Amino acid sequence: MGDEHDKLLPVANVGRIMKRVLPPTAKISKEAKETIQECATEFISFVTGEASDKCQKENRKTVNGDDICWALGSLGFDDYSQAIGRYLHKHREFERERASAKLAVSSQNNNIEEETNA
């Protein structure tokens, strides 16, 4: 069981996520946390396996966010697929903006450095 237990999501993280949606006074049993831990781990494996199969058929080695969205839709989780697709789009947009801002700051610092050395 040691190997099987290592493949599960950390139960402490699962417990924290569960607590977020419950009233502050609610208690969660160890058994409930472990059940959700197993279900969430199985769900992630199921979706990731579908995405991985798609990548193999396309001779790709890397599973990306679009593959996960596709897998969710393919498995009948259309609502999740659409929601995660929107999140993925916003995340990529944020990363592009962050990279542009870093580049602008770096360029600005280089200009200041050149002016100081001149």
As a whole number, the mean pLDDT across the chain is: 90
DSSP state of 111: H
In which band, very low, low, confident or very high, does the pLDDT at 1 lie, cut at 50, 70 and 90?
Answer: very low
Res 83: pLDDT: 95
Q: Report the 10 Å Cβ neighbour count for 69.
A: 23
106 vs 49: CA distance, rounded Å: 41
Cα–Cα distance, 35 to 29 (Å, whole number): 10
pLDDT greater than 70 at residue 15: yes
What is the model's pLDDT at position 116? Answer: 67
DSSP notation for 57-86: HTT-----HHHHHHHHHHTT-HHHHHHHHH
* pLDDT the model gives residue 47: 97
46-102 pLDDT, tens digit per residue, is: 999 999 999 999 999 999 999 999 999 999 999 999 999 999 999 999 999 999 888
Please name the residues in contact with 22: beta carbons below 8 A apart, sequence gap of 6 or more.
28
Q: Do residues 75 and 44 touch, judged by C-beta distance below 8 A?
A: no
Residue 33 contacts by C-beta under 8 Å, 6 or more apart in sequence? 11, 14, 15, 18
Mean pLDDT of 7-13: 93
Percent residues over pLDDT 90 in the chain: 78
**Structural domains of the chain in order of their starting residue, each with its CATH number:** 2-117 (1.10.20.10)
Q: To which residue do tokens 């069981």 refer? A: 1
Lowest model confidence (mean pLDDT) among 5-9, 10-14, 30-34, 38-42: 5-9
